[in-house]
Amino acid sequence: MSRAEVYGVVTFYHDFRTSPPPKHVLKICRAEACQASGGTALAEHACERLGLEFGEQTADGRVGLEAVYCLGLCSVAPSAMYNGRLVGRLNTAKVDALVAEAEL
């Protein structure tokens, strides 16, 4: 495989990385069901609370914020995943609690 082919695969799949992952990862679902249930406002809240945009991590590598497109939790939307743990019925209090947990 050429370098271009490898780079194409690595950059296409969001779970592949070219640098070490952050210690804590908060993934917020950006799919339609979650957006229809208030997920857009919660995503903005998480960005503001962390001071990050999607795809970024803190300078110390402690916390990363990622968009994900469907966690299969549409019946309990909006949803997120924190360090592999699924979180349904997301609200601002839950986002704040997850951020606080990551900042410990």
| pLDDT confidence tier of residue 104, bands split at 50, 70 and 90 | confident
For residue 20, cis peptide bond before it (omega within 30 degrees of 0):
no
Predicted structure pTM score: 0.87
Domains contained in the chain, number? 1
Q: Which residues contact 45 (CB under 8 A, 6 or more apart)?
A: 92, 95
Q: Is residue 4 one of the residues assigned to a domain?
A: no
- Range of 97's domain? 20-103
Q: Is residue 24 one of the residues assigned to a domain?
A: yes
* Residue-averaged pLDDT of the chain: 94
What CATH code is carried by the domain that includes residue 94?
3.40.30.10
